Amino acid sequence: QQPVQSPQAVILREGEDAVINCSSSKALYSVHWYRQKHGEAPVFLMILLKGGEQKGHEKISASFNEKKQQSSLYLTASQLSYSGTYFCGTLSNDYKLSFGAGTTVTVRA
């Protein structure tokens, strides 16, 4: 069962912030975040494990609320290079990642 991502798309100006949400109906062991540039393969950004850890990658950070089975990805002071489609992947007791439908982020100068 795929996790639900929101919003589907967001348009930002350089320097603005955005939040992407990911929620699951299943108990989760971990949440992964990937970014895909147009025409390229998805690339791993970070993983969040049970325990509510907050991780960071450049000015991109994320949180994981295991009780609510939700994760949020925070794009801070966005740069042009942040444009792409962001996918969350959730890992539960079947040990297979299930990916959300993606959130397309467009950062404009």
Which residues of the shown chain bind other proteins in the complex (CB under 8 A)?
2, 29-30, 32, 34, 40-44, 47, 49-50, 87, 89, 91, 95-102
Smallest distance, other proteins to C-beta of residue 21, A = 15
CB closer to other proteins, 41 vs 109: 41
In the DSSP assignment, the letter for residue 25 is S
Sign of dihedral through CA atoms 44, 60, 18, 80?
negative
Cβ atoms of 97 and 90 closer than 8 Å: yes
Q: Which helix (H) or strand (E) holds 49?
A: strand 43-49
CB closer to other proteins, 94 vs 109: 94
CB closer to other proteins, 43 vs 80: 43
In one letter, which amino acid is 42? P
Smallest distance, other proteins to C-beta of residue 15, A = 28
Smallest distance, other proteins to C-beta of residue 83, A = 17
CA 13 to chain CA mean position, Å: 19
